[in-house]
Amino acid sequence: LDADEFRRQGRLVVDFIADYYARIDEYPVRPAVAPGFLARQLPETAPARPEPDALAAALRDVRDLILPGVTHWQSPRHFAHFAATASNVGALGEALAAGLNINPFTWAASPAATELEVVVTDWLGKALHLPESLLFSGGGGGTLLGTSCEAMLCTIVAARDRKLAEVGEERMGDLVVYCSDQTHFSFQKAARIAGIRRGNCREIPTSMEAGFTLSPKALAAAVRADEAAGRVPLFLCATVGTTPTAAVDPVRELCAAVAGRGVWVHVDAAYAGAASVCPELRHAVAGVERVDSFSTNPHKWLLANMDCCALWVRRPAALTAALGTDHDVILKDPSAQAAQEGGAVVDYKDWQVALSRRFRALKLWLVLRCHGVEGLRGLVRAHVRMAAAFEAMVRTDARFEVPVPRQFALVCFRLRAAAVLVVGEKRARDGDDEVVTAGNELNRRLLEAVNATGRVYMSSAVVGGTYILRCAIGNSLTEERHVREAWSVVQEQATAILAAARR
Ligand code: PLP
């Protein structure tokens, strides 16, 4: 790395990003491109020799070829999925970590990086009002992984090994894990990777009436049935803020339902964990002091650019017993051995699947310092306020309904079945299969039309057989005017679709 050249190139990149954000609102949120559009425009092989002024040329290609083909996740009019909130310091923290390019797999491999992660996960845990028992200061501890899926995998593996040590390795095929039919699919994937039999993942059904939350009663019944059949209940994944509707599983009651059975309770709060920075939203995690582990993605709603998933565990020893490795002499640093063996330092390689790891703590530390906990509260509150405004607008239009209560900054909405009845000029009752199918199809077409405008981008889910549109507010650049525009686009497209359906 040549320092002067790095400075010159760095300015090009920073200017490029700044220009992008200055114009981001001008791009259609989602590109209208066909598969293969980019590959056709690029050479088939890499250049054999460096191109002249390669970085500048490549940046031109990013502008002319790549940007027209990306979905602009940071657009203030991106309301799909859950947001990936970005910030200046989040981006610069990433740049700083990439620039330093260190690999803190053990304390000795980079003491300050490891210690910063210890400090910053405790900082964040305190900001989210997590119980002491999940923090280093209370005997637990946190780490920064890439994704929630990794957090699930690591905790299932920890729970599995702890349980097998108790009941015997031969019981592996009897281990059962529990979730709801709203739990993110990554849980089942993690369970499969951890060796849980496919048939031993209990996906407990939820209902619209119960707001798609996991019922403690149903959970207790499932656990009892498994025990009666000689199986071994292992792990419960409760979700605070499910992906389809941001439903909140009742953590306290779920913990009570499995209490005394040695079931590891994990809370997946990938999206909504961030809301706990606000005292008025903290009720969503009531009971969290009883769980074994908790994870949330600061890259979803806390201004830490991709990727950043914070995982806290009550007993780090369970994690390190399952994931720790102790036989690689190359990793042994004689000067740190005493501290390692005495447990005075954290070796994060033993908290995760891989050996190598990124220095994620740096950007999270910058975010917390530059925005402060109050700044994060302001961000969450602004998004929740805008979502409430969007919900209010939906409720004023009789053609629409809000089938489940708004949670946090996610509004789920749809054209009413009654609108379908008008279209079909039929006398059918709500709930008739024909009406449900027609309603779903109409709402599917509505979303397609809304997104085809390029003016906004929303996503959908099917819950309890009902197709819903999702408007998830969470981008740093989103303002009330964007939310109003989004609603206008939905209304315009609904009017056009209903008119076309009547013809
Ligand atoms: N859990 C929930 C509730 C989610 O909404 C998501 C993704 O949106 C995930 C888990 C998966 O997160 P990741 O991509 O970090 O694995």
**CA-closest residue to ligand 1 atom 15:** 147
Is any ligand 1 atom within 6 A of the Cβ of residue 183?
Answer: no
Q: What residue type is assigned to position 396 of the chain?
A: T
Is residue 130 within 8 A of residue 294, CB to CB? The reply is yes
pLDDT value at residue 192: 97
Distance 299 CA to ligand 1 centre (A): 11
pLDDT (tens digit per residue) in 396-454:
999 999 999 999 999 999 999 766 666 655 555 556 778 888 899 999 999 999 999 99
Is any ligand 1 atom within 6 A of the Cβ of residue 270?
Answer: yes
pLDDT tops 80 at residue 334: no
Pocket test for ligand 1, best of 73, 150, 181, 184 (most atoms within 8 A of CB): 184
Is any ligand 1 atom within 6 A of the Cβ of residue 180?
Answer: no
Distance 280 CA to ligand 1 centre (A): 24
Cis bond before residue 307 (omega within 30° of 0): yes
Provide the 3-class DSSP secondary structure of residue 445. Answer: helix
pLDDT tops 80 at residue 342: no
pTM of the model: 0.96
Long-range contacts of 115-122 (CB under 8 A, 24+ apart): 116/361, 116/362, 116/365, 117/142, 117/143, 117/144, 117/346, 117/348, 117/360, 117/361, 118/142, 118/346, 119/361, 119/365, 120/144, 120/361, 120/364, 120/365, 120/368, 121/310, 121/312, 121/361
Is any ligand 1 atom within 6 A of the Cβ of residue 239?
Answer: yes
Pocket test for ligand 1, best of 73, 297, 299, 308 (most atoms within 8 A of CB): 297
Distance 294 CA to ligand 1 centre (A): 13
Distance 270 CA to ligand 1 centre (A): 5
Terminal C-alpha separation, the chain = 66
pLDDT (tens digit per residue) in 157-199:
999 999 999 999 999 999 999 999 999 999 999 999 999 999 9
**CA-closest residue to ligand 1 atom 14:** 147
Environment class of 331 (CB within 10 Å of its CB; exposed 0-12, middle 13-18, buried 19+): middle
